[in-house]
Amino acid sequence: MIAFSRRTFIGATAALSLCLSATGASAQQFINVLTGGTSGVYYPLGVALSEIYAKGIEGARTQVQATKASVENLNLLQQGKGEIGFSLGDSVQEAVKGNKEAGFPQPLDKLRGVAAIYPNYIQVVATQDSGIKTLEDLKGKSLSVGAPASGTELNARAIFAAAGMSYDDLGKIEYLPFGESVELIKNRQLDATLQSSGLGVASIRDLATSLPINVVAIPKDIVEKIGAPYVSAVIPAGTYEGQAEDVETAAVGNFLITHEGVPEETVYQMTKLLFENLPQLIAAHSAAQAIDVNKAVDGMPVPLHPGAERYYREVGVLK
């Protein structure tokens, strides 16, 4: 009788252990960080975030996914195929509307905000040999505007429309990621590239150290014609090798976005760790220097996720 009881106890203990093990496995949080091309700013910041989350969130398994950036990221989040992603503010606005031309066949209603982070600068760069010094000079020339229906390409369309131009004015148009655009320019197969990114993006730095470049201005009056969320900004002299003067351009805010299906506690931790580890993000890319918790809800195009809202109330950003 005693032996039977002991066997029963051991069996019950093993079953309980298996049950607890299964519970632990189901509680494990998978965090897929949706970024952009590997030569842009989203990717290194996404890698840094994934490392921060893997270390700081108990039981988290993280992954970084290189994508075509804003538009693809938002569609993936809507489908539940990522937990946090980078996006330009105007792309988020178009996603909420369901703008088919912008890459959103129907309104994306599951998106939730995490944080406003840093501005993207619309950077038009041409080889000096091309003779391109102004937007008008792009007529008849070849230009890459980013992947089709990407956040960068949406920026390009907006800039061209405000300048009274269209893609038809170009001699040739390419829809390529940043790194591939630069390689074509270095091989004399492309005159210019339009890249929407943080200042000092690796692809343009690479180009500027390989060939003499012109950074093409986007005048303030053109930016004002577009309106919000675009604002006039400046690419400071010396941002790229050979850039001797400040250059006027347009800027659009970047946001970290999640979806309603991610648990509140997970988003709370992701938001908290973002702001508690800014030095690590700045080490990954200098664009992160602009991340400020006091501006984290400024211009947010979608409702905040409850987890992010809880953090902002905790630190006094929201009352």
CATH number, span 120-252:
3.40.190.10
The tokens for 171 are 């001699």
- Specify whether the CB–CB gap between 288 and 278 falls below 8 A: yes
pLDDT at 313: 98
pLDDT at 19: 40
- Specify whether the CB–CB gap between 42 and 203 falls below 8 A: no
Block means of pLDDT (10 residues each) for the chain, 319 residues, are 42 41 54 93 96 97 96 97 96 94 95 96 97 98 91 93 97 94 97 94 95 97 91 95 97 96 98 98 95 94 97 97
Distance in angstroms (rounded) separating the CA atoms of residues 16 and 4: 18
pLDDT at 229: 86
Q: In terms of Cα–Cα distance, which of 190, 192, 145, 196 is closest to 167?
A: 145
The continuous run of DSSP H or E covering 22 comes out as helix 2-27
Amino acid at 148: P
Distance in angstroms (rounded) separating the CA atoms of residues 284 and 125: 24
Is the pTM higher than 0.85?
A: no
pLDDT at 224: 93
pLDDT at 16: 41
Residues in the chain: 319
DSSP 303: P
Q: In 37-150, which ranges are continuous DSSP H helix?
A: 42-56, 70-78, 89-97
CATH number, span 31-119+253-314:
3.40.190.10
Listed in order, the ranges of the chain carrying CATH 3.40.190.10 are 31-119+253-314, 120-252
